Structures are given as structure tokens and as C-alpha cells.
Amino acid sequence: MSLRTGNYCGFTIAGHEHGIVTIAFNRPESLNASTAPMKRDLVEALTQIQMDDLVRVVILTGEGDAFWAGDNLKGPAGEKSTEVPPIHGGHHREIGTYNGLRMISQNVNTALRNLDKLTIAAINGFAIQTGFSAALCCDFRIAARSAKLGSATLRFGLLPDEGGQWLLVRLLGAARAMEFMMRRRIVSAQEALDLGLVTEVVEDDALATAAMSLAVELANGPQIAMRMLKRSTYLATEMTWEQALDEIASKTAITDHHEDAKEGGRAFLEKRQPVFNQWLDTLENKSE
């Protein structure tokens, strides 16, 4: 893969077999609290991932006691992005907050939701405010037993300004989302599972293994069809029946003629497991 691995501002990226990439937030001393330079690096990294055909699945996780526990707006003195030139981070006055949210903070969740590659949040600890909304933007969320999740912005008189209210309404419905936010709830992993905020809860020492096992399963599936289906599923929440039918038909016109679909048909007739993604194997061989 062409994606640059190694250190970025506030996180590291590692590549694994099967086209799996791990993004690990690496400031445990601050509970992996985010800064504007970190968010700009993360958007750039997600853009690289989107444009790299060899990346199939992305795991997001944190080091220490937190997945990602909100923002550190001041950040370390003199901190700079490693990927893009420095700019003002906003939040110095009303218009600065408006611009900082739209152009920096909210772009992280937009980039996550726009990513066609499947994403897994391996929630190892506190996922609060900004980190909570980022986890909700992932396609799968596996939580360690000791994890704590919540928005709780009202505890500081603040709003879930990176799309948290939109995400919660779609996952919980308006009534339960209202109760969750207005009562400033921070819930355990089991409570999050009961609410439908996470897809699985595992023991703390099993989190990395569970996330990688799911990633390998997803990575071995037919990638083009899965990326198309991911996009179609999210779009369907905003569409009428007629629009959804037309949208899935246009994507099917691509996937039905892809090599993976041909391999799926052959495997069915030959009564064997299909071997998908041979087109990616060709790309991987060329990149070596």
C-alpha cells in the first residue's frame, strides 16, 4: 500500500496483512484528547486511506485508558501538524468557533462517514464527546468491558458540536437521544450495548484480538460490493423507497459485472468457498 505509516500528530498508523490498517491515538497522558493539528492530520490520513486501493479495513483505537476523550483546544505548546501547513485553529471568538468547527473539527467525522472502506472502533477506554462521536461514525464498534462512552457536553454547558446529536438520533431515535444528551449520560460498555451504541463487548484483554478477527473477516469479503453496500446503506436512511431502488440499481450495474461477482457464481456452482479480491492481489504484487 502507498499509505504512509508511522507517526502523525497525535496518532500512529500501522499496516497489517489483508489490507488492514490500524490508527492508534497515542497521547495516553491526556486520555488521547484531540487538538486542531491532530484533526487535520487525521483528515489527511483518512483521505490517503480512501484513495489507496490496497487498504480494505481500518481499525481505530487508543493507547492507555482512553479511546479518545474529548478535545484539548489549547494543545501542547507550539504543536504542528506533520502533514499540512499550520493555520489558526479557531475558537478565539464567535466566528472563529464557527469556522473551526466547520473546517476542522467536523471534517473528521465527515471524513470517517465518507470513507468507503469499512471501519471498526476498538473502544479500549473513555470515548467521550469528540471521541464518542468519532466512534459512532465507524461502521462497527467493539468495546472493552471497562470502556465508558458518552457525550455529556452539557456537563460543561457545551453542545455536541461535531454531529453527535445527528448520530445519536439515528442510532437511538429522537426520544432516547434526547434523554441520553439532556441527562448528560456516560454509560458503561454493557449499557452502550443494550442501547445499541456498540455492536459487541469483550473482556479488556480480548479487545485487540476481537477487532483484528472482525477486520480479517471483513477484509476477505468482496471489497467493491461491500464498499458499494456501505454507501448505499447510509444513503438509504435519507432516501425515499423509489430513490433507494434507483440508487442500489446503479451500484448493482457495477458490482454484477465485477470479477468478484463472477468468482462468487463460479464458487457456488463448484460448491466451494469463493476467493474474492483477486484484482487486489494483482495490485499488491505490482506494488512489491
Residue range(s) defining the domain that contains residue 235: 223-287
Mean pLDDT of the chain: 94
d(CA 14, CA 7): 9
- Check whether residue 176 and residue 269 sit in a common domain: no
In a domain, residue 32? The reply is yes
Only one residue has cell 485553529, namely 89
Count of structural domains within the chain: 2
Name the strand (E) or helix (H) holding 23: strand 20-25
Interior angle at CA 39, CA 65 and CA 105, nearest 5: 105
In a domain, residue 109? The reply is yes
d(CA 140, CA 83): 28
- Check whether residue 66 and residue 179 sit in a common domain: yes
Band of residue 287 on the pLDDT scale cut at 50, 70, 90: low
pLDDT of residue 147: 98
Q: What is the DSSP letter of 80?
A: -
- Check whether residue 110 and residue 246 sit in a common domain: no
User: pLDDT at residue 276 above 80?
Assistant: yes
Q: What is the pLDDT of residues 148-159, one digit of tens each?
A: 999 888 998 989
User: pLDDT at residue 58 above 90?
Assistant: yes
Interacting residues of 257 by C-beta distance below 8 A, sequence separation 6+: none
Domain boundary among 219, 235, 255: 219
- Check whether residue 227 and residue 126 sit in a common domain: no
Domain boundary among 192, 219, 246: 219
Q: What is the pLDDT of residues 164-203, one digit of tens each?
A: 999 999 999 999 999 999 999 999 999 999 999 999 999 9
Q: Which amino acid is at 103?
A: M
pLDDT of residue 283: 80
